[in-house]
Amino acid sequence: MTTTDAEANVAPEVRLFLARVRRELDDLDPEVLSDITDGLEADFTELVAERGPDALGDPVEYAKELRAAAGIPMGVRAPRGLAERVDGLLDAGHDRFDDAVAKAGELVRTDLGPVVAWLRPLWWIVRAWAAVWLVSAFFGWGMSSAAGVVLLIVAVAVSMFIGAGRVWPGGERGTGARVVLLGLNTFAAFVLFMTWASGGGGTDYDRGWSDGYNEAGAGGGYGAPIDEQAGVYSGGKWVSNIYPYDASGKPLTGVQLFDQEGKPIDVVTQPDCTSTTAAPLPALTDAESDMAEVVCTDEMTGEPLQPRILYPWSNGAAQLYNVFPLPGRVQPGTALDPNAFADGSQDAPAIQEPPLATVPKASLPGIATSSPSASPSASPSAAEKP
């Protein structure tokens, strides 16, 4: 039994009635069952339209009448091969689905058949997306990359043609094709569930892993409440570097920060995956990618990139993580190189360009702004006072 376009116009009461009739005749050969039940949808739909659903009667009794009219005694089961038994199971599942749709329609007092028919193309698109997501994750592509977009367009077209019966397996689907399609649909639903269960936010496994590593961090441990973790937070996310500006809006370098108790305001350094036009992150080679503890990912192409490692300042006796901005350099690992500053080469850590060249000026009446030659606590002179 295959679904036809005409089934969408069958009244839900008729669909439910005939599903129960066919269930009573499940022991018959599929060809015999088709011979004695085909065409009943139109007849009973017309009957219901004229006399109402009560005219359908008892499906069990009607099945007995069909069996008697065809001269088939009760309990005689025709020999059935494996393919026929599989078809019977698939048909029974389809009938149960029709039963569920019909019962749901009775609850809301409307025919849900057209709604289900309308949702089928949507599912064809969704399963195409699931297939492309899986392929992109396997090959390390980004869903928003050129390859991902082209693959998604092709997959949607193929999925819709298959669903409409225009390409494999066509309109008349054999047992093997029905089983394969059922397996593909089930697998697509599983991929969607796993995507939803994992948060579904990232388009690449590597970037999702890296983000999780960065958010969990080494200070507080995995799953630790945010208020128990070390470092500075902004919007619930870890701050790995700070770019201070003075009151005139110019960027500052070498600013030491302390809290209200005089304790250094340290950040927990972590690999920086920010790649800009001015400071791009280079791509990782295959050998580096296999050995790297943390891999950054290009958001557009999904290409693995080398992370930028941040280095502390020093007061001659200790390393300082409360002096900003922190310098950094690109390197594939996550450990600080003790010789990074030794040779003064181009590969030595350096201050990155600030995210903003300038910011708006800030002022507060009665408060003097600081400068490199003035103490922050200095008060305005009499000549400066209004």
pLDDT in tens, 34-59: 888 888 888 888 888 888 777 888 88
For residues 14 and 140, membership in a common domain is answered with no
What 3-state class would DSSP assign to 218? helix
Contact of 281 with 330, CB cutoff 8 Å: yes
> Per the structure, how many domains does the chain have?
3
Contact of 274 with 253, CB cutoff 8 Å: no
What pLDDT score does 384 carry? 41
For residues 241 and 309, membership in a common domain is answered with yes
Contact of 150 with 170, CB cutoff 8 Å: no
Proportion of the chain above pLDDT 90, given as a percent: 4
Q: Point out the domain boundary residue: 197, 228, 257.
A: 197
What pLDDT score does 226 carry? 44
For residues 218 and 105, membership in a common domain is answered with no
For residues 37 and 59, membership in a common domain is answered with yes
What pLDDT score does 266 carry? 85
Q: Point out the domain boundary residue: 111, 128, 146.
A: 111
What pLDDT score does 172 carry? 61
Q: Point out the domain boundary residue: 180, 197, 214.
A: 197
Closest CA to 282 of 293, 270, 295, 291: 295
What 3-state class would DSSP assign to 323? strand
For residues 382 and 249, membership in a common domain is answered with yes
For residues 157 and 247, membership in a common domain is answered with no
Give 84's contacts (C-beta < 8 A, 6+ positions apart): 29, 30
Q: Write out residues in the chain with pLDDT < 50, as ranges.
A: 1-6, 8, 201-211, 213-227, 374-386
For residues 157 and 284, membership in a common domain is answered with no
Output the six-digit token pair for 61: 């009794």
Does a cis peptide bond (omega within 30 degrees of 0) precede residue 360? no
For residues 241 and 329, membership in a common domain is answered with yes
Q: Model's pTM, two decimal places? A: 0.39
For residues 343 and 218, membership in a common domain is answered with yes
For residues 182 and 39, membership in a common domain is answered with no
Does a cis peptide bond (omega within 30 degrees of 0) precede residue 380? no
Which domain range does residue 78 map to? 5-111
For residues 130 and 249, membership in a common domain is answered with no
For residues 371 and 226, membership in a common domain is answered with yes
